[in-house]
């Protein structure tokens, strides 16, 4: 199991001679999960753009300034 953590290689766990699970180190798993989250967010953004759910830069600046109480 130290191979999984130290060498960053997943360990395949078998059951009846067939792969059934994969064991990864926590940091490797977190990195993989973060990449998946980012790709999911990019896909959602692309869908929003395609559907026209966008805001201009000026609109966003005005909204942020208003939230922060900063006059423009």
Q: Tens digits of per-residue pLDDT, 37-52?
A: 999 999 999 999 999 9
Q: What distances in angstroms separate CA 70 from CA 54, 66, 67, one per listed residue?
A: 23, 6, 8
Q: How many domains does the chain have?
A: 1
Long-range contacts of the stretch 40-48 (C-beta < 8 A, 24+): none
Q: Does the pLDDT of residue 1 top 70, yes or no? A: no
pTM: 0.65
- 15 three-state secondary structure: strand
Which 3-state string (H, E, C) describes 19-35? EEEEECCHHHHHHHHHH
Instruction: Domain of residue 22: give its range.
Output: 2-68
């Amino acid at each position: 199991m130290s191979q999984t953590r130290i060498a960053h290689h997943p360990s395949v766990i078998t059951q009846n001679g067939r792969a059934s699970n994969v064991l990864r180190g926590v940091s490797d798993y977190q990195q993989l999960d973060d990449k998946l989250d980012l790709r999911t967010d990019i896909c959602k953004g692309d869908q929003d753009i395609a559907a026209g759910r966008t805001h201009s830069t000026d609109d966003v600046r005005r909204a942020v300034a208003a939230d922060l109480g900063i006059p423009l």
